[in-house]
Amino acid sequence: MGIYSETVINMEGGTNKGIWVTAAVLLFLGAVLLAGCESRDKAKSGQEERLTAKEIEQKAPTPSTKTTPARKIALVMKTLTNPFFVEMEKGARKAEQELGVELIVKTGASETSVEQQISIIAEMTTQKVDAIVIAPADSAKLVPVLQKAQDAGIALVNIDNRIFSDMAKKAGLINVFFISVDNVKGAYLSAKYVSDKIKKSTRAAIIEGIRGAKNAEDRKQGAIKAFKENPNITVVAMETANWKIDEGNAVAAKIFKNDPDTGVIFCANDMTTSLHTGHVSLLNVPLHPRSISCQGHHWLASFIGRL
């Protein structure tokens, strides 16, 4: 069994989330060409390497002018029903053109299509792609099939939602690159933005992402931390909407039915921030007894105008 190792890349700020996948592709190519060198040394020592976005570009190899078969990279995302992943594919397509690789994009039908993702990874393993860039719908359930892919000699890049480190280590995964933002910090700053405006007793709710997903748990914890810092805020409800608009509407309706005095809602992503206008009022308006402040996480351009 190998020693588990990750390379963590912190992507600070920015609204073009597609750059994550661009960086992932660059990292993969670097990993393939530098196989057995720097990353392997890190794996042996059990160390975790942290890189900046600039260092990612510096590590990326210059495309060769030699005529060689294009490396095949599979980008496996959760779904294309979320604009977040549409932007992600744009970044990957840009890298595909710049680096001369062959990109295969696969997604599940929805954010919760875990079994479909498992089947896709198995399919890509059979097709013997050079690498799989995976945004897992679940942080635990995809570990076994990812291990099979790595055993077949396929390089792995984990983006967006982190697979559980303890499970990956137990399975024997090594040299897994991880690219994402600090979800705890991002959610904390987002929730703190609205929390700092609250000067009187206010009841709050948190609409979570998929339970069992590391990024969803991180964002929940970040929001809880921000709300706890304001003694005027009491968190009265925490419900999952699985990153979906329709479930977000249903959860919001349930929250307001159970507690009509709820004054602030933190949503774990923009899909659940786009709640029905009958349930929330505009963000950034002065708080008063009948207004509700709704705070999201991604701030995709396509959703800002809906608030």
Tens-digit pLDDT profile for residues 141-158: 999 999 999 999 999 999
Across residues 24-45, what is the average pLDDT? 44
> Per residue in 67-95, pLDDT tens?
677 889 999 998 888 788 888 888 888 88
Q: pLDDT by residue (tens digit) across 290-303?
A: 455 555 554 444 44
Q: Give the residues across from 214 on adjacent strands.
A: none
Q: In what order do the strands lie in the sheet with 293-295?
A: 233-240, 202-208, 262-267, 293-295
Local confidence band at 52 (pLDDT 50, 70, 90 cut-offs):
low
- Mean pLDDT, all residues of the chain: 76
Mean per-residue pLDDT, 261-280: 66
Domains of the chain, each with CATH number or no CATH: 6-180 (3.40.50.2300), 184-304 (3.40.50.2300)
Q: For position 256, what pLDDT does the model report? A: 87
Summarize pLDDT for 115-135 with one digit per residue, the tens.
Answer: 999 999 999 999 999 999 999
The confidence score (pLDDT) of residue 281 equals: 41
Q: For residues 188-198, b (16+ Cβ closer than 10 Å) or e, as one string?
A: bebbbebbeeb
What span, in angstroms and rounded, lies between the C-alpha atoms of 296 and 276?
A: 14
